[in-house]
Amino acid sequence: MTSHQIRQAFLDFFRSKEHLIVPSAPLVAKNDPTLMFNNSGMAQFKDFFLGNGTPPSRRIADTQKCLRVSGKHNDLEDVGFDTYHHTMFEMLGNWSFGDYFKKEAISWAWELLTEVYKLPKDRLYVSVFEGNEADGVPFDQEAWDLWKGIVGEDRIILGNKKDNFWEMGDTGPCGPCSEIHVDLRTPAEVAEVSGKSLVNNDHPQVVEIWNLVFMQFERKADGSLIPLPSTHVDTGMGFERLCMAIQQKTSNYDTDVFQNTIQVLETLSGKKYGQNDEPFADIAMRVISDHIRAVSFAITDGQLPSNVKAGYVIRRILRRAVRYGYSYLGFQEPFFHKLVPVLAEQFKDVFTELKDQEEFVTRVILEEEKSFLRTLESGLKRLDSITSGLKEKGINTIPGDEVFELSDTFGFPVDLTALIAREKSFQIDETGYQDALAEQKKRSRQDAAKEATDWIELREYDGVEFLGYDFEETHSHIVKYRKVKTKTGEEYHIVLDRTPFYAEMGGQVGDTGVLVLGSSGDAKTVNIVDTKKENDLFVHISRDKNLDEALSGAGIITAKIDIDRRNKIKANHTATHLMLSSMREVLGTHVSQKGSFLNDEVLRFDFAHFSKVTDEELRKIEDRVNEKVRENIALDERRNVPIQQALDAGATATFGEKYGDFVRLIIFDPKFSFELCGGTHVPSTGEIGVFKFISEGSVSAGVRRVEAVTGEKALELMRQQEETLNKIKDLLKGPTDLIKAVESLIDERSTLQKRIAALENEKIQALKTTLVENMETHSTFNLIVQKVDVPSADSLKQLSYELRDQVENLIAVFGAEIGGKPQLSVFIAENLVQETGLNAGKIVKDLAKDIRGGGGGQPFFATAGGSDASGLDTALEKAKGLF
């Protein structure tokens, strides 16, 4: 079976068991404060398990793009070194939301593996949770009995809490799990050692392929467990490992999932996978063919490499790949981006989004590679200078903080530093490095530290009703709240059953406003400073103090948003739509959204485009937007349109956004602006007033950023500019032609500078004459020691050099006060330097002590600056005594 057929067979199997097949959520996790990337199939369904929403079906199956490179699941360091852990992998999964439980989950898993995929039964082992006394959770008898009926007792292994008890997080749903392991060794190996003893022992050919989780408890903040009202199933099977087992390989990289990429790498490098003397060359090929998937799909789903957070994670993966190529496959030039087309082709029917953005992804990777290859070189130089410095001191260990700096500043992974160090007969202080790293991690953890109490549930509810498209004020109930300690203080998170507050999403900031509790006589107003989404929950955030009593005792409340602020936000959101359409007209249809942020003051928009947007283009876009504003086009909003219908009609969607089956369309003239959008918009474009760009620049390779303002803000901006101009006019005494006046000011300045230079020169010439007249002549040398009045430190040099041409065997020491700061210079004729060994550099350093300064230079000319001008005379007196 090919990998395509294997994936399809999984989906078909569960479809036949009445599962709804859904698309993968984007790799990049949105609206989940605990995750950067989706790291398991269940991530997109969290809300259903938490009871915050209702699934479209009680049985669902899919293949989910997962990334395990940060946080709780981080497999990065194993990738390439072993043959079955990836950064990005596909997790095949089937779910029951309060529907079937252990019996069906177990028997279907067995049926699929042994009857559809025909994996040999005597090569499969399963594990069952042994129980945990401290948690009060018993041995999973039910799963044991079910498996016993299928595989017999001797193929079952008992597992502990670490391997066989799954938890969503510190709190929330959890339960025992049952894993299925496969033994892929040769018959001879199997005869020698039983596979059972190798399960969960990191053997590369005895690996876990499927994990069946049975959610039946909820963990509370105090650590206790309570039974869930309804039980769920969550399973995850590693697609690449499954392919290895079915295709009878011993490594995931030998399956057709990776072979295409590896073949291109072989052609590019001239090396053959599996036939390299250099052991790291094979590792490098695995690393690269793995990492290109993670990087390409992350960029496709909207996560560009950058210096912070999720963007930095992607940049590090990319650099890890590039440096393996550089060190072990001889790639001195960018190569990594050349693998994108292979991947795009391979996944064109599964994850079509990569094919759609192939060119963009390729360019972003190319630019990243180029810039890393530049730092790679400077990092190598830095490492060189560190090692030669240490060598002088007879030390052969590179200190931990240097290793850390190399990784932090130059993006040098530690193993690269260690390897190069070894080549130079050095080692690295691994412990010191770990300490520096831990210190940094601690700092960033402290930055992010948040401590939440359990939700205090006040009433039952069935998901939040968002009414903010139609109302600015609603009557609502508080359904739950909790207190959260953040770095800056304490917050209340409040959830309502119905709300007019828009929660931050799709670049639009959350609403602010008030909740009015109680009736008019003793009403209490709670200020809401922000509204955020946590998965599907709308969380209203208040920083008011001591709200517990008021919140828990509240009956019907009034929720009101700040209307003025919302209106400005709306104008900016609609303007963003008009701007995107105008950009596509002016710059081309390759322009797609890469990021967006808008509040009541400004709109910021990142988009794919490869060159600077010229002033002329900006003006054209601006003109077009303002034209549409003046046309005063009415909003045409359509809710609950089936997604396919919307896309077929040509609506613009943003890559990496997760859309439901039904979407909302925002149309301002169907021929002009037609987008899938959940934001709030003005009823007609005239309300925008006016649209004005304020900046244009680059964010990263292939991505530009513009900022613009609308309405009142735009007017404010124009007023400010007008004021600046008026001020300049006033300063210039109101000339009729302002530009001409400034030009002539600049001309005048340059003429004056020239005249000053000429005057200074004259002064130096006169000074020279007096100096020569007062010179001390000795038999072997002529001495001038003098405090002089010159305009700049450069003049001391000019003076010394010109005197040299005039006087033989000259020694000249000058002191000067320039702009309140003391300066010294020492000149010694070169023949004297040769004959006597006198050294201007050393002398000036010594003299500089009197002016509390330092300096240096060459043996024949040197200068020093200081901070204490009162010491100049002493220094010059001292100089006289030296010769």
- Closest CB to ligand ATP among 211 and 582? 211
Q: Identify the sign of the CA torsion 592, 595, 600, 601.
A: negative
Identify which of residues 72 and 272 has a Cβ nearer to ligand ATP in the complex: 72
Residue 468 lies near ligand ATP (rule: CB under 6 A): no
Which range in 204-212, 563-571, 616-624, 693-701 contacts ligand ATP by CB under 6 A?
204-212
Of 207 and 578, nearer to ligand ATP (C-beta) is 207
Coil, strand or helix at 690: coil
Distances in whole angstroms, Cα of residue 694 to Cα of each of 92, 555, 708: 47, 47, 5
State yes or no: residue 86 binds ligand ATP (CB under 6 A): yes
Q: With respect to ligand ATP, which residue has the nearer C-beta, 240 or 368?
A: 240
| Listed ranges 236-244, 323-331, 713-721, 826-834: which one lies at the site for ligand ATP (CB under 6 A) | 236-244
Q: Which two tokens stand for residue 409?
A: 């500043």
Tell me how far apart the alpha carbons of residues 824 and 854 are, in angstroms, rounded to a whole number: 10
839-875 burial, b for 16+ CB within 10 Å, e for fewer? bbbebbbebbebbebebebebbbbbbebeebebbeeb
Q: Which stretch binds ligand ATP (CB under 6 A): 2-10, 203-211, 357-365, 549-557?
A: 203-211
Q: What is the 3-state secondary structure (H, E, C) of 66-90?
A: EECEECCEECHHHECCECCCCCEEE
What is the spatial distance between Cα 104 and Cα 233, in angstroms, rounded to a whole number? 10
Q: How far apart are CA 879 and CA 825, in angstroms?
A: 11
CB of 696 to ligand ATP, least distance (A): 41
CA torsion, ordered 184, 185, 191, 196, to nearest 10 deg: -50
Nearer to ligand ATP, 113 or 824 (CB): 113
Q: Which of residues 213 and 561 has its CB atom nearest to ligand ATP in the complex?
A: 213
Nearer CB in complex with ligand ATP: 13/655: 13
Size, binding site for ligand ATP by CB under 6 A: 15
> Hey, which residues between 689 and 728 contact ligand ATP (CB under 6 A)?
none
Residue 570 Cβ, how far from ligand ATP at the closest point, in Å? 43
Regarding 105 and contact with ligand ATP (CB under 6 A), the answer is no
* Binding-residue pattern over the window 36 to 75 for ligand ATP, x denoting contact by CB under 6 A: --------------------------------x------x
857 in contact with ligand ATP (CB under 6 A): no
Could you say which residues in the range 414-433 bind ligand ATP, by CB under 6 A?
Answer: none
| 459 contact partners, CB below 8 Å, separation of at least 6 | 477, 478, 479, 497
211 binds ligand ATP (CB under 6 A): yes
Contact present, 822 and 851 (Cβ < 8 Å): yes
Asked whether position 165 contacts ligand ATP by CB under 6 A, the answer is no
DSSP symbol at 229 = E
Angle at 246 between CA 241 and CA 250, to 5 degrees: 60
Report the nearest approach of ligand ATP to the CB of residue 49 (Å): 16
User: d(Cα 83, Cα 206) in Å, to the nearest integer?
Assistant: 11
Q: What six digits make up the tokens of 290?
A: 């793995």
Shortest Cβ distance from residue 12 to ligand ATP (Å)?
20
Work out how close the CB of 596 gets to ligand ATP at its nearest, in angstroms, rounded to a whole number: 32
Which is nearer to ligand ATP, 87 or 303 (by Cβ)?
87
Residues contacting residue 510 through CB under 8 Å, at least 6 positions apart: 501, 502, 503, 504, 530, 531, 532
Q: Supply the minimum distance, in Å, between the C-beta of residue 229 and ligand ATP.
A: 25
Which CA distances in Å does 704 have to 367, 608, 611, 619, 696? 14, 7, 8, 16, 7
* CA-to-CA dists, residue 677 to 31, 125, 579, 590, 673, angstroms: 16, 48, 15, 20, 11
Minimum distance from residue 195 beta carbon to ligand ATP (Å): 15
Asked if 209 is part of the footprint of ligand ATP (rule: CB under 6 A), the reply reads yes
Nearest approach in angstroms of CB 541 to ligand ATP is 32
Note whether 540 binds ligand ATP by CB under 6 A.
no
**Residue 91 touches ligand ATP, criterion: CB under 6 A:** yes
Of 19, 59, 85, 498, the one binding ligand ATP (CB under 6 A) is 85
Indicate whether 199 belongs to the interface with ligand ATP (CB under 6 A).
no
- CB closest to ligand ATP, residue no: 238
Helices (H), strands (E): how many in the chain? 26, 38
Name 553's Cβ contacts closer than 8 Å, sequence gap at least 6. Answer: none
Nearest distance from residue 35's CB to ligand ATP, in Å? Answer: 14
Binding residue for ligand ATP (CB under 6 A) from 236, 679, 841, 871? 236
167 lies in the site for ligand ATP, by CB under 6 A: no
Structure tokens at 225: 């467990």
Which region among 84-92, 510-518, 606-614, 748-756 touches ligand ATP (by CB under 6 A)?
84-92
Could you tell me whether strands 172-183 and 206-219 are parallel, antiparallel, or unpaired per DSSP bridges? antiparallel
Tell me the one-letter amino acid at 852.
Answer: R
Min dist CB 591 to ligand ATP, Å, is: 36
The single residue among 89, 607, 674, 781 that binds ligand ATP, judged by CB under 6 A, is 89
Calpha distance 376→353 (Å, rounded) = 31
Nearer to ligand ATP, 201 or 431 (CB): 201
Site membership for ligand ATP, residue 210 (CB under 6 A): yes
- Please report, for residues 47, 471, 542, the alpha-carbon distance to residue 536 in angstroms, rounded to integers and kept in the order given: 7, 20, 19
238 binding ligand ATP? (CB under 6 A) = yes
**Which one of 85-93, 417-425, 729-737, 847-855 is the stretch in contact with ligand ATP (CB under 6 A)?**
85-93
Among 65, 185, 232, 241, indicate the residue that binds ligand ATP (CB under 6 A).
Answer: 241
Q: Residue 668: which residues within 8 A CB-CB, separation 6 or more?
A: 574, 577, 578, 628, 633, 635, 636, 685
Residue 225 Cβ vs ligand ATP, minimum distance, rounded to whole Å = 20
β-pair type (593-598, 557-561):
unpaired
CB of 599 vs ligand ATP, minimal distance in Å: 39
Which residue among 208, 254, 282, 562 contacts ligand ATP (CB under 6 A)? 208
Asked if 411 interacts with ligand ATP (CB under 6 A), we say: no
27: contact with ligand ATP by CB under 6 A: no
Which single residue is written with the structure tokens 């360019």?
A: 363
- In the complex, the residues that contact ligand ATP under the rule CB under 6 A are 68, 75, 85-86, 89, 91, 208-211, 236-238, 240-241
